[in-house]
Structure 1
Amino acid sequence: MAYVPGVALLAALAAGCSAGSDGSATDADSKPGGPAVTTAPPGKYRTLPAPCRAVPASTLKDLLPGVAELPRQQQEKTLRGSPTITYDTDRKVGCSWKSNVPDSSRNLSIDFERVVSYDPAVSDDDRARALYVKKENAADLSANATPGTAPEKGAPESPGGEKGEKKGQEKETGKPGDGKGSVDPSASASDSAGPSSGSPSGTPGATGSGDQDLRPRVISGLGDAAFLDDLLTRAGSTAQHRTVSVVFRTSNVIVTVRYGEQPALVTKVPDSRELQDKAQALARKLAEVISE
């Protein structure tokens, strides 16, 4: 058996430890705690406006005919609005108003939703964008659609089919000049240059004066993205009720404006042009309120 002096043994052990320490230090420097995780940036908006105070009284009086003529206490109550019941006012709030006059009733509601992503890899804006796209798709809108497209995937082009009849009852989108097929609600204004069978009362699909497209559609110049939907319904033999909805997204906030009218007369059809113009004007004011 070979004899190793104590001093030589200690020197050998020290050399081995030194080599190991150098190697582990290099590994530690190259992997300081594993791969870095990049957290997506938060949304621009951290709070929401008070919805029942977001619409000026002068605007409400214009949107709700007859309110200005009400007795003072009743007028104040109507203009105050009814807040939407929510369980997280930091994330979602809303308010609604209604007016009744002898010849018609009007209803208005607004909703603000602040989207928060709980996935560190997905930003609030990206999450809000996905939710907005879902709403737009649910409204059967498509920026590239052309007149004559079937209203539903797999639905017959002729409104005589079951799906065509249902769609015709829910949403008046007009018809192409040949009378076949239903005009896709999302067709752009450039696609609607031809004549339309819309009624003088403002049925979606009519271009009217100035070639204004009244069909449900994507609209520009409002937030980061926006669309308008126009729904005409009738419950049995009652008067027809039209609701115009404008939905837009700005950063991580999604805003919905719903403005509707139901005339007292069964034969009268609510005017699309008026409802759409006023709903869009209000939506643009709300976009300014959010940005303040």
Structure 2
Amino acid sequence: MAYVPGVALLAALVAGCSAGSDGATDDADSKPGGPAAPAAQPGKYRTLPEPCRAVPRATLKDLLPGLAELPEEQQEKVYEGTAAVTYDTDRKVGCRWKADSPDMSRNLVIDFERVVSYDPAVSDDNRAAEVYTKKETAADLPAAATPGGETATGGGSTPTTPPAGENTGADDTTAPTGTTGTPGTPAEDLQPRVLDGLGDAAFLDDALTRAGSTAQHRTVSVVFRTSNVIVTVHYTEQPALVTKVPDSKELQEKARALARKLAETLSE
């Protein structure tokens, strides 16, 4: 009868081993793991607009006064614009327009950048906010006075890089000087600054540049972010006369108006 207990002992050992090769019990294996971290939200925008069709003809005609003086065939070519070279139209696109007149030359450049976060813990919007903040920091906007008279953090004005194709060998680059405006309008209102009411965040830069012995040219840049898309507008005027200073107020108003139109287009 000693054989029977041996069989029982062997059965018990086999049952214990069947719980798992690592000796873990069924109870331990059945315990659920910790909750998985939720993935960050994707951005609102999955595509970008066709940049060379993003600006209405009526707006281009207003922004480029010399356009109306060109022959009709040349006008059509200017209206078409020149698309920026890009290798991923779902991520970055742009377009450029230029028109000359006897009095001045004006250039318009717009860029759309769709930011995508490849970190599952960081949303597209948050990543776009980081990219936008770097652009604003690089613009080095001047310090702004608070309502209490104190000065907010900031630095001296260093303009953003002018659009490609423009004179870059500048002898003198400054923020708005020699500007014209309506009586009673403080000059500070035309300084590079953060803008309210445009997208989720926006700023304006204004650079007056003299390249060698040529006429001064002014570039007004408006950059704004809406969700995971960052839009940049560069609007430049170079007068024919060396003594003429481009009007900061006019260029800023038109650049901001165009930026608002582009923001509305994205929201549609």
Bin of the TM-score, shorter chain as denominator length: 0.7 to 0.9
1:137-216 correspondence runs (5 A): 137-141=137-141, 146=151, 151=156, 169-172=172-175, 199-201=178-180, 209-211=184-186, 213-216=189-192
Partner Cα distance (1:66, 1:150) in 2:
37
SS at the partner of 1:96?
strand
Partner of 2:134: 134
- 1:289 pairs with 2:265: yes
TM-score relative to the length of structure 1: 0.76
SS at the partner of 1:170?
strand
Q: How many Å apart are 1:69 and its aligned residue?
A: 3.0
TM-score relative to the length of structure 2: 0.82
Asked whether the 8 Å contact 2:171–2:212 carries over to 1, the reply is no
Asked whether the 8 Å contact 1:201–1:269 carries over to 2, the reply is no
Partner of 2:101: 101
Q: How many Å apart are 1:172 and its aligned residue?
A: 2.1
Partner Cα distance (1:171, 1:30) in 2:
67
Partner Cα distance (1:41, 1:150) in 2:
35
- 1:241 pairs with 2:204: no
Q: How many Å apart are 1:237 and its aligned residue?
A: 1.2
Partner of 2:43: 43
Q: How many Å apart are 1:19 and its aligned residue?
A: 7.5
* 1:80-99 alpha-carbon deviations (Å, 9 max, x no partner): 10000111111000000001
Q: 1:101 to 1:55 in 2, by over 3 A?
A: same
Deviates more, 1:137-146 or 1:251-260: 137-146
Partner Cα distance (2:201, 2:171) in 1:
27
Q: Which structure 2 segments of 5+ residues have no match?
A: 146-150, 158-169
* 1:224-249 alpha-carbon deviations (Å, 9 max, x no partner): 00000001100111100000000000
Q: 1:18 to 1:84 in 2, by over 3 A?
A: closer
Q: How many Å apart are 1:151 and its aligned residue?
A: 1.9
Partner of 1:159: none
Partner of 1:261: 237
Identity across matched positions, percent = 69
Asked whether the 8 Å contact 2:110–2:232 carries over to 1, the reply is yes
Amino acid aligned to 1:100: D
Partner of 1:223: 199
Q: How many Å apart are 1:141 and its aligned residue?
A: 2.3
Q: How many Å apart are 1:291 and its aligned residue?
A: 1.1
Q: Which structure 1 segments of 5+ residues have no match?
A: 153-166, 174-197
Deviates more, 1:276-285 or 1:9-18: 9-18
User: How many pairs does the alignment contain?
Assistant: 249
Amino acid aligned to 1:209: G
Partner of 2:27: 26
* 1:97-156 alpha-carbon deviations (Å, 9 max, x no partner): 00100011000000000001111111111111000000000000267563997528xxxx
Partner Cα distance (1:226, 1:91) in 2:
20
SS at the partner of 1:59?
helix
Amino acid aligned to 2:262: L
Partner Cα distance (1:142, 1:25) in 2:
67
Partner Cα distance (1:98, 1:70) in 2:
12
Q: 1:53 to 1:38 in 2, by over 3 A?
A: same
Partner Cα distance (1:262, 1:19) in 2:
82
Partner of 1:67: 67
Q: 1:215 to 1:55 in 2, by over 3 A?
A: same
Asked whether the 8 Å contact 1:263–1:270 carries over to 2, the reply is yes
Partner Cα distance (2:200, 2:207) in 1:
24
Deviates more, 1:95-104 or 1:21-30: 21-30
Partner Cα distance (2:98, 2:222) in 1:
18
Partner Cα distance (2:113, 2:46) in 1:
11
- 1:278 pairs with 2:257: no
